[in-house]
């Protein structure tokens, strides 16, 4: 009988292998020759980021039936990316911690406001 952690461990190994091969043979060669850069005003970048994040939040909230699970689904990948940047030396550890704290606080507030307004809208539609 296989141990319950067997699927997790083998999936972890597969992810590491695919990522290493993908980075070395696919991503890095493209990154070395890529000269196409996009430059938009920081406000436009922020609006695009928040808009895409809100779409993910609403989808995750509807799927999980929990605003806080939806918020966590938005925060977790970004926090993992911040951790990755800090571990590779591209971001200071204090900055990384501040970024993760800001993410958690932001999406907690978004979840709180969203949950209150959804209840209000549902109440007004039932009357």
Residue-wise pLDDT for 84-125, tens only, equals 999 999 999 999 999 999 999 999 999 999 999 988 877 777
Domain ranges of the chain: 1-37, 39-126
Integer angstrom CA distances of residue 31 from 15, 26, 40, 121 = 21, 9, 20, 47
Query: What pLDDT does residue 11 have?
Result: 95
Residue with tokens 């990384």: 96
Residue-level pLDDT at 3: 82
End-to-end Cα distance, the chain: 57
pLDDT recorded at residue 38: 87
Indicate whether 127 pLDDT > 70: no
pLDDT tens track for 1-32:
578 899 999 999 999 999 999 999 999 999 99
């Amino acid at each position: 009988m296989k141990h319950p952690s067997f699927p997790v461990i083998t999936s972890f190994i597969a992810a590491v292998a695919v990522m290493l091969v993908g980075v070395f043979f696919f991503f890095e060669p493209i990154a070395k020759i890529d000269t196409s850069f996009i430059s938009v005003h920081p406000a436009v970048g922020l609006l695009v980021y928040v808009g895409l994040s809100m779409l993910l939040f609403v989808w995750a909230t509807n799927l999980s039936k929990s605003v806080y699970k939806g918020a966590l689904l938005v925060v977790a990948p970004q926090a993992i990316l911040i951790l990755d940047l800090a571990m590779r030396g591209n971001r200071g550890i204090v900055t990384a911690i501040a970024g993760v704290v800001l993410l958690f606080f932001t999406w907690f507030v978004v979840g709180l406001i969203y949950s209150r307004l959804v209840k209000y809208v549902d109440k007004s539609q039932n009357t």
